[in-house]
Amino acid sequence: MSFADHIRACNNYERGRVVPLVAGGRRIGRLRRDNAAALSRFARVFAVEPERVRLVAAGDADTVSAAVDEVVEALVVERQVPKWRNETFDVMARWGEPPLFRLDRGAVPFFGVRAYGVHLNGYRFDGGRLHLWIGRRAPDKRIAPDKLDNIVAGGIGNGHGVVATLYKEAEEEGGIPAALVERAQPVGAVSYLMETELGIRDDVLFVYDLELPADFTPKNSDGEIVHFELMPADEVVERVRATDDFKFNVNLVILDFAMRHGLIPVDDPEYLDVATGLCRPLD
Amino acid sequence: MSFADHIRACNNYERGRVVPLVAGGRRIGRLRRDNAAALSRFARVFAVEPERVRLVAAGDADTVSAAVDEVVEALVVERQVPKWRNETFDVMARWGEPPLFRLDRGAVPFFGVRAYGVHLNGYRFDGGRLHLWIGRRAPDKRIAPDKLDNIVAGGIGNGHGVVATLYKEAEEEGGIPAALVERAQPVGAVSYLMETELGIRDDVLFVYDLELPADFTPKNSDGEIVHFELMPADEVVERVRATDDFKFNVNLVILDFAMRHGLIPVDDPEYLDVATGLCRPLD
């Protein structure tokens, strides 16, 4: 294992394997060719062309969402999509624009729609040594069960903003009160483009750092994290390098933290792989 | 002007306008097609093929450097290359490998060889407000005369490492003593791919942050900076957004600093442009 292995795993996307999903002439997703072909039966919603798929369902966000959802239901029956039923993501060409429709979270990789999340690095200095609060994901999580995670991480559901998601997840996942969360600093984003069994993950993670006081201990209340541990940050970084213990994208968030906090020396043979590998330019 | 304008200016590279310069089957540079054509006369050194140029001069680094330098001298006579004569850069396919040859700094963009530099953000908190030391470049600089700059910045010349360049430039350019420089933290890299009049700049800047004490004032001794000013960091960021006052690549280094230090709020419409636009993945 190496730092670059984790970066490569999250960036295994190959352009030739997908066609764009377009709406109004702009790309809103990336469909693996087998997924694109599976949409040809739904001609009232999608027009499948050789080198692209067009969203043809028209109307306001509610109308288009309902039309797309009928397609998703059919794909769920065929077990091509694992529907979550409790969370939808907004779909738009660019962050900040009004959503064209809402999509069940389980169907997001099928359509290769860009998904946004928030990750918080919770840290503190203990005896002058930088430490990170690390959580262990519950064994019943759909994605990456039992893997290690940031103290707070979550997807940005429809209608929620970055900051609202940060506060909500900080409280539910880590028991961090709002008075502490407001000290969190936005420090950038991690982005990657990854093919999985289900399709394409085009993910953008808004990253925050928060220095936590010595008397704070995180406490999970939504059942998503079973255990928290305060680990020396340099040991976290070496564990990222040597193992697959962390959730795939958490490796990248921790490497970003490590880079920004001077934990990776310039003579590390992977220094430039890490420094230039964590924020794939959005196109 | 906008943040994204500065990022675009440094990433105006178009793949179709260049051919790779290869050695031993690996790319070591990118030649604009007109520059590639100009090399066809030097068949003992370069083999110009339709879609690539091969380095054919063989031997140790000294031998190849001498052969390439003859070509550079001829191009200088024709005013295709502005030779610097006082500084050479190492040429290799990947940072950390032994150099294949040394190249006059003035010829680096002609061949589109990747160039490495070091930039230091010198900052301090004054009355709780983050400030940055900003220098003004001398009016006789070849590149970006009179523009604003980081407190310390310099190219990594042949045989020098990142750390050695940092100490050398910190002393010459900013008068920062070694005892202070050793507190500097490596915090990542800024990378971009830019076409200029001369050719292609494939630049990687190792970025350091250094918190400077209140009783320190920078002092230039190499004539490259005429004046230093301690500016509130938020005003520096707005000046980057609104003007062309800073050297082209310094805009990117400052945006990286601003992002890492929480100076750009997540609701800034350009937040993701900045967060994902400063470190072009190396290929």
Task: Please check the confidence at residue A108 and state whether its pLDDT lies above 90.
Answer: yes
Chain-chain contact of B280 with A282 (C-beta, under 8 angstroms): no
Task: Please check the confidence at residue A46 and state whether its pLDDT lies above 90.
Answer: yes
| Interatomic CA distance for residues B80 and B71, integer angstroms | 11
Min distance A257 CA to chain B CA atoms (Å): 9
Chain B residues in contact with A186 by the CB 8 A cut-off are: 262, 264-266, 271
Instruction: Tell me the residue ranges of DSSP E strands in B75-199.
Output: 88-91, 101-104, 114-126, 129-137, 148-150, 152-155, 185-195
Residue among A229, A283, A212, A3 nearest B280 (CA): A283
Task: Please check the confidence at residue B271 and state whether its pLDDT lies above 90.
Answer: yes
Task: Please check the confidence at residue A238 and state whether its pLDDT lies above 90.
Answer: yes
Our CA angle for B74, B77, B83, nearest 5°, is: 85
Average pLDDT (A38-46) is: 98
| Interatomic CA distance for residues A137 and A135, integer angstroms | 6
Alpha carbon of residue B246 to chain centroid:
14
Cβ neighbours of residue A49 closer than 8 Å, sequence gap 6 or more = none
**Closest residue of chain B to A255, computed from CA coordinates:** B188
Chain B residues in contact with A11 by the CB 8 A cut-off are: 281
Chain B residues in contact with A271 by the CB 8 A cut-off are: 186, 189
Condensed to tens digits (0 to 9), the pLDDT of residues A163-180 reads: 999 999 999 999 999 999
Backbone angles phi, psi at B243, to 5 degrees: -135, 175
CA torsion, points A149, A151, A154, A159, in degrees to nearest 10?
Answer: -170
The partner residues of A133 in beta bridges, in order of sequence, read: A230
Which two structure tokens, joined as six digits, stand for A7? 């970066």
Min distance A134 CA to chain B CA atoms (Å): 21
Residue A84 has a pLDDT of: 84
Which of B276, B278, B282, B283 would best serve as a mutation to test chain A binding (most A beta carbons within 10 A)? B276
Chain B residues in contact with A260 by the CB 8 A cut-off are: 187-188, 260
ipTM: 0.95
Chain B residues in contact with A253 by the CB 8 A cut-off are: none
A275 → closest Cβ in B11, B189, B272: B189
Cβ neighbours of residue A27 closer than 8 Å, sequence gap 6 or more = A20, A21, A93
| Interatomic CA distance for residues A61 and A68, integer angstroms | 10
| Interatomic CA distance for residues B162 and B168, integer angstroms | 10
B186 → closest Cβ in A262, A277, A278: A262
Chain-chain contact of A266 with B162 (C-beta, under 8 angstroms): yes
Chain-chain contact of A188 with B259 (C-beta, under 8 angstroms): yes
B188 → closest Cβ in A96, A206, A259: A259
B155 close to B115: Cβ distance less than 8 angstroms? yes
Which of A271, A273, A280 would best serve as a mutation to test chain B binding (most B beta carbons within 10 A)? A271
Residue A240 has a pLDDT of: 98
Chain-chain contact of A265 with B186 (C-beta, under 8 angstroms): yes
Condensed to tens digits (0 to 9), the pLDDT of residues B172-199 reads: 999 999 999 999 999 999 999 999 999 9
Which of A163, A260, A270, A283 would best serve as a mutation to test chain B binding (most B beta carbons within 10 A)? A260
Backbone angles phi, psi at B113, to 5 degrees: -75, 140
Residue B207 has a pLDDT of: 98
Which two structure tokens, joined as six digits, stand for A36? 């694109």
Residue B191 has a pLDDT of: 98
| Interatomic CA distance for residues A194 and A10, integer angstroms | 5
pTM of the model: 0.96
Min distance B23 CA to chain A CA atoms (Å): 22
Residue B85 has a pLDDT of: 82
Cβ neighbours of residue A21 closer than 8 Å, sequence gap 6 or more = A27, A28, A29, A30, A31, A46, A52, A53, A54, A55, A111, A112, A113
Chain-chain contact of A279 with B282 (C-beta, under 8 angstroms): no
| Interatomic CA distance for residues B82 and B63, integer angstroms | 22
**Closest residue of chain B to A161, computed from CA coordinates:** B267
| Interatomic CA distance for residues B190 and B250, integer angstroms | 10
One DSSP character per residue, chain A reads: --HHHHHHHHT---GGGEEEEEETTEEEEEEEHHHHHHTTT-TTTEEEETTEEEE---SSHHHHHHHHHHHHHHHHHTTSS---SS-EEEE-SSTTSPPSEEEEGGGHHHHT-EEEEEEEEEEEEETTEEEEEEEEE-TT-SSSTT-EEESEEEE--TT--HHHHHHHHHHHHH---HHHHTT-EEEEEEEEEEE-SSSEEEEEEEEEEEEPPTT------SSSEEEEEEEEHHHHHHHHHH-S-B-HHHHHHHHHHHHHTT-S-TTSTTHHHHHTTSBPPP-
Task: Please check the confidence at residue B251 and state whether its pLDDT lies above 90.
Answer: yes
Average pLDDT (B227-248) is: 98
Residue B250 has a pLDDT of: 98
Chain-chain contact of B275 with A189 (C-beta, under 8 angstroms): yes
Condensed to tens digits (0 to 9), the pLDDT of residues B19-71 reads: 999 999 999 999 999 999 999 999 999 999 999 999 999 999 999 999 999 99
| Interatomic CA distance for residues B218 and B232, integer angstroms | 16
Q: How confident is the model at residue B239 (pLDDT cuts 50, 70, 90)?
A: very high
Chain-chain contact of B187 with A265 (C-beta, under 8 angstroms): no
Condensed to tens digits (0 to 9), the pLDDT of residues B74-122 reads: 999 998 899 888 899 999 999 999 999 999 999 999 999 999 999 999 9
Which of A166, A259, A274, A280 would best serve as a mutation to test chain B binding (most B beta carbons within 10 A)? A259
Average pLDDT (A15-27) is: 97
Chain-chain contact of B267 with A187 (C-beta, under 8 angstroms): no
Mean pLDDT of chain B: 97
| Interatomic CA distance for residues B147 and A250, integer angstroms | 40
Chain A: residues touching B (Cβ < 8 Å): 11, 95-96, 161-163, 185-189, 191, 204, 206, 209, 259-262, 264-267, 269, 271-273, 275-282
Chain-chain contact of B276 with A189 (C-beta, under 8 angstroms): yes
